[in-house]
Homo-oligomer: A and B are copies of this chain.
Amino acid sequence: MTETDSPLPSPPDVTSADAAATSIREMILEGHFMPGDRLHQDHLAETLGVSRTPLRTALARLAQDGLIDYEPNRGYRIRRFLVSDIREAFTVRANLEGLACRLAAEAGMSTGDLDRLQALVAEGDAILFKGALPIDQLPAYRRMNVEFHETIIAAAGNRWIGRFVHQSHNVPLVSDRVILWDDFGVIHRSHDDHRRIAGALADRDGVRAQNLMNEHVTYAGQLLADRLEADPSATLRHAFHDKKADDRTRPSTGDPR
């Protein structure tokens, strides 16, 4: 079986349209725009220092990603996300990642991948050892979390799952890079899910791994959505969200993985 060296690779921005796309994407996730805002092509092109042609392809890509809306002859607008969008995205993500677990378990993961999962669990253990998640350890924890999920998805051997999960990440806050860090109980339980999932995968117990992952993602989504509805600003304060990971490049659009 083939080893998954880098779970979800993303190519560098070789063309200027790519660069524009990533720039705009980061701008949006950074909250630089308000929902409903129009994206002036002339203005944006001048800001990014490119012509309108590559800009337009970049906008088209973002629209396909679902990050912005497009209407012919009316241009592009920042999409307005509702809490229901977040719930729905998490529902699908939970199902797909659960499916990934079952497929990976049934296929039998390589010892390399299994070791990797165990190492990631150990990483989490080390971080959470003191019964808390120190704020300065958040990046490390987040990276561990991302890699855990991506490893399983890659091991599932079904390109569509990775593709769709990736797309669902384009909804703000719906990402395994987002971590609500103010409730240690939740985090501890979440990490325990990881441990059990890794164990189920090692045992090739597909159904158990699937159920665990489904609940794992579903609960995270429910928690986030409930909090958003209760108090959006407080939730955003406690959600650790970096638009540009320290080491990881941003998954670009249009790449066959």
Which residues of A pack against B, CB within 8 Å? Answer: 14-15, 18, 53, 56-57, 60-61, 63-66, 69-70, 72-73, 79, 85, 88-89, 91-92, 95-96, 99, 103, 157-161, 163-164, 167-168, 253-254, 256
Within the complex, the shortest CB–CB distance from A18 to chain B, in Å, comes to 7
Residues of B within 8 A of A18 (CB): 72
Residues of B within 8 A of A163 (CB): 66, 167
Instruction: Jot down 14 A-B pairs with beta carbons below 8 A, ordered by A.
Output: A14-B72, A14-B73, A18-B72, A57-B57, A60-B254, A64-B65, A64-B253, A64-B254, A69-B256, A70-B254, A88-B157, A88-B160, A95-B96, A164-B164
Number of copies: 2
Closest to A102 in B: B95
Within the complex, the shortest CB–CB distance from A162 to chain B, in Å, comes to 10
Within the complex, the shortest CB–CB distance from A16 to chain B, in Å, comes to 10
Within the complex, the shortest CB–CB distance from A67 to chain B, in Å, comes to 11
Within the complex, the shortest CB–CB distance from A224 to chain B, in Å, comes to 16
- A50 to B18 Cα, complex, angstroms: 24
List 7 A-B pairs, minimum CB-CB distance, nearest first.
A92-B160, A64-B64, A88-B158, A14-B72, A164-B164, A15-B72, A95-B99
Within the complex, the shortest CB–CB distance from A49 to chain B, in Å, comes to 19
- A103 to B253 Cα, complex, angstroms: 29
B79 near A256 with CB under 8 A, answer yes
A89 near B256 with CB under 8 A, answer no
Within the complex, the shortest CB–CB distance from A90 to chain B, in Å, comes to 10
Within the complex, the shortest CB–CB distance from A221 to chain B, in Å, comes to 12
Supply 12 further A-B pairs (C-beta < 8 A) apart from A57-B57, A164-B167. Answer: A15-B72, A15-B73, A53-B53, A60-B61, A61-B64, A64-B65, A91-B158, A92-B99, A95-B95, A95-B99, A163-B167, A164-B164
- A158 to B53 Cα, complex, angstroms: 34
Q: A158-B91, A160-B92 are in contact. Are A66 and B256 (CB under 8 A)?
A: yes
B79 near A103 with CB under 8 A, answer no
Residues of B within 8 A of A79 (CB): 256
- A79 to B159 Cα, complex, angstroms: 14
- A159 to B170 Cα, complex, angstroms: 14
